[in-house]
Amino acid sequence: MSIRDGEDLTMLNDTGAGGVAPGAALADKVEWLIRNQWPAEAGPPRNNVETAAAIARATGEDISSTTVWKLRTGRQENPQLKTLTALATFFGVPIGYFGFPVEAAPIEDDLTFKALRREVEHGAIPAEVLRALVDLSADARWVVHEMILGAAAADRRRGEVG
């Protein structure tokens, strides 16, 4: 069955609309939160030291820049519960976001929609683009779907190199 025959887009794209794949590594989830869910009142972080300090200030949990670095690079796959709780509190996500895929997937979908809404509200994605997407035929949506996934994959590859 092809998407043109009515297949659900989410079955073809396991990363959602720019989110992380269900069951993604903890590092991917932490990085996604830093890039997409950073609290406006905390001011944008420039490095792991500032990231750790912002989390510590907001939650009262002492998290080192080394811990942040390990989490972001996948060198710490099984952090303490208090670390995950601090991350969940700081980013305003349920602790289940860091859990098993069956629990995390709906949370990731919700976070992706919130991030998309924020991008629209801040003008990074014009609302008329989303309206146009909704109005496209199934065939045209399939073309856009493929283009977005291709661009996202290329962007990830550039990020891995740089």
Structural domains in the chain plus CATH codes? 1-15+100-162 (no CATH), 24-99 (1.10.260.40)
Tokens of 97: 């976001």
Q: Which helix or strand (DSSP H or E) is residue 14 part of?
A: none
Residue 110: which of 96, 89, 100 has the closest Cα? Answer: 96
- pLDDT tens by residue, 16-29: 445 555 446 899 99
- pLDDT tens by residue, 56-88: 999 999 999 999 999 999 998 889 999 999 999
Question: Is residue 29 within 8 Å of residue 98, measured between CB atoms?
Answer: yes
Where are any strands of DSSP class E within the chain?
none
Residue 79: which of 63, 91, 92 has the closest Cα? Answer: 63
- Of the pLDDT bands very low, low, confident and very high (cuts 50, 70, 90), residue 8 is very low
